[in-house]
Amino acid sequence: MDYSAFLMEVERGAVPLVCLLHGPEPFLLNDALAQVTRACCPDPSLVSLNRECFDARDTTPETIVRSALTLPFLTPTRLVTVKESQALNAKESHPLSQYAKAPNPSTRLLFLASEALPATHWLLEVIRPAAVVPVRPPTVRELPGWLRRRAEANGVSLSEEAAQLLVQWVGEDLAALVGELEKASLWAGATSDQIGVEEVKAVVGEQRLRSVFELTRALERRALGPALAVLEALLDSGEEPLGLLGMLAREVRLTWLAKEWTKKGKSAEEIARFLRRPPPAVEALLARAESCSEASLRHQLSRCWEVERQLKAGGLPRSELTILLADLCVAG
Q: Is the pTM of this model over 0.85?
A: no
pLDDT in tens, 43-61: 999 999 999 999 999 999 9
Q: How far apart are CA 56 and CA 82, in angstroms?
A: 6
Contact 215, 322 (CB under 8 A): no
Q: What is the pLDDT of residue 63?
A: 95
Which neighbouring-strand residues pair with 81?
53, 110
Structural domains of the chain ordered from first start: 3-134 (3.40.50.300), 143-203 (1.10.8.60), 206-330 (1.20.272.10)
Find the mean pLDDT for residues 218-235.
Answer: 84
More confident: 261 or 85: 85
In the chain, where does DSSP find H-type helix? 3-11, 26-40, 47-50, 61-69, 94-101, 123-126, 143-153, 160-170, 174-188, 197-203, 206-221, 224-236, 241-263, 268-275, 279-291, 294-312, 317-330
Burial class (CB in 10 A: 0-12, 13-18, 19+), 30: middle
Which of 255, 263, 245 is CA-nearest to residue 284? Answer: 255
For residue 242, pLDDT over 80 is answered with yes
Residue 164 to residue 140: CA distance in whole angstroms = 10
**What pLDDT shows up at residue 258?**
83
